[in-house]
């Protein structure tokens, strides 16, 4: 019998839906197939406006929630048809949903992901597991990051201190130390500012291979101003998102951006991503050999990868693909794993990572019928 789970992830980059079909029947579990569905432009524009403005009408919010549900269902059905896999072969879909606001601090902490999972279950005839973050928050955690437990299951080694670095819209790390509890947290902007800046100036969704940034130079004064952000000094556990790191934040940090070359700003934002990561890794103390495994969209940016290798000469730096898991689909596979844990009532958060009071099984189950 197949023990397939389908993981789906749409991240802060708003580029589309990553899909990973994961087989848990064998040990170690493996990605059987992977795919990607681009975000429809009209939906991407609505989500961008929603995240940019931080507010909307209930009518608009409800419509976007519905549209996302249909997008997830379409993505799953199309992908499974391409793979020749039937709905009956899938135990459950693990779908992260689309984060529109993450606010773990304050008197009323919350995290909000949208995408109607009832629609997904109805349109795919597959049980769906979603809403992973709020159970952790109910137990006093930040609800993020969720992937370190998965990274631990896949990449931990008794010989190395391993850091798994995911560079999506936001960068996050998982620190896998064989002699200590696993920790992990968000470190700062990944691709979010880079994507926003190039779209504003060139109308492109992202800077492919860092080509535009390569034509610019790092502005040291701007970099210093950007690194002077309290979040970077905040101790873990900590998590963040586009509600902090957006173009408004950039403008507040550097009042007169129009005086700077746009390509120099782009190059400086690359360096911000690199340096915010390097600062965190340099705080790690260990006698073990260290390796850095990179996944997410940032793994394809040669400027980011070279920057990390140059700044961390004593680390073995590679992409996760070299260790058996496609760098583009690690997060999607993580949500398949989270769904597997929920269906089998296994704990799936790490209190040392999120700050929760106890380990619990995350996610809400939406039955297929």
Which residues are documented as binding site?
11-18
Rounded CA-CA distance 67/149 in Å is: 30
Rounded CA-CA distance 296/61 in Å is: 28
* Percent of the chain as helix, strand, coil, to the nearest 5: 45, 20, 35
Q: How many CB atoms lie within 10 A of CB 153?
A: 16
Binding-site residue ranges for ATP? 11-18
Q: Do 145 and 186 form a contact (C-beta atoms < 8 A)?
A: yes
Q: Do 45 and 91 form a contact (C-beta atoms < 8 A)?
A: no
CA-nearest of 67, 150, 156, 186 to 332 is 150
CA-nearest of 197, 162, 196 to 177 is 162
Q: Do 39 and 15 form a contact (C-beta atoms < 8 A)?
A: yes
């Amino acid at each position: 019998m197949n023990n397939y789970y389908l993981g789906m992830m749409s991240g802060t980059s708003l580029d589309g839906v990553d899909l990973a079909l994961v087989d848990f029947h064998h040990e170690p579990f493996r990605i059987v197939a992977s795919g990607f569905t681009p975000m429809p432009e009209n939906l991407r524009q609505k989500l961008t406006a929603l995240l940019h403005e931080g507010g909307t009408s209930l009518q608009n919010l409800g419509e976007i929630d519905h549209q996302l549900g249909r997008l997830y269902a379409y993505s799953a059905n199309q992908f499974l048809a391409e793979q020749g896999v039937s709905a009956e072969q899938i135990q459950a879909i693990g779908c992260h949903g689309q984060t529109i606001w993450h606010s773990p601090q304050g008197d009323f902490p919350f995290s909000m992901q949208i995408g109607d999972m009832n629609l997904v279950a109805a349109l795919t005839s597959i049980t769906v597991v979603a809403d992973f973050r709020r159970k952790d928050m109910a137990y006093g955690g930040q609800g993020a990051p969720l992937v370190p437990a998965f990274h631990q299951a896949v990449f931990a080694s008794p010989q190395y201190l391993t850091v798994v670095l995911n560079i999506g819209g936001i960068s996050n790390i998982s620190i896998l130390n064989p002699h200590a509890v696993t920790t992990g947290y968000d470190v700062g902007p990944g691709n979010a500012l880079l994507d926003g800046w190039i779209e504003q100036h060139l109308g492109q969704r992202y800077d492919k291979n860092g080509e535009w940034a390569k034509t610019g130079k790092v502005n040291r004064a701007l970099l210093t101003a950007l690194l002077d952000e309290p979040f970077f000094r905040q101790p873990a556990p900590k998590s963040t998102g586009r509600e902090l790191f957006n173009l408004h934040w950039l403008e507040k940090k550097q009042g007169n951006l129009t005086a700077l070359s746009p390509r120099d700003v782009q190059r400086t934002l690359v360096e911000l991503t690199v340096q915010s990561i390097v600062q965190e890794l340099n705080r790690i103390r260990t006698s073990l050999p260290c390796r850095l495994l990179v996944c997410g969209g940032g793994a394809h940016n040669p400027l980011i990868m070279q920057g990390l290798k140059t700044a961390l000469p004593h680390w073995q730096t590679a992409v996760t693909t070299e260790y058996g898991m496609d760098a583009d689909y690690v997060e999607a596979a993580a949500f398949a794993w989270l769904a597997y844990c929920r269906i089998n009532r296994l704990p799936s958060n790490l209190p040392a990572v999120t700050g929760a009071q106890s380990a619990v099984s995350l996610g809400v189950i939406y039955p297929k019928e």
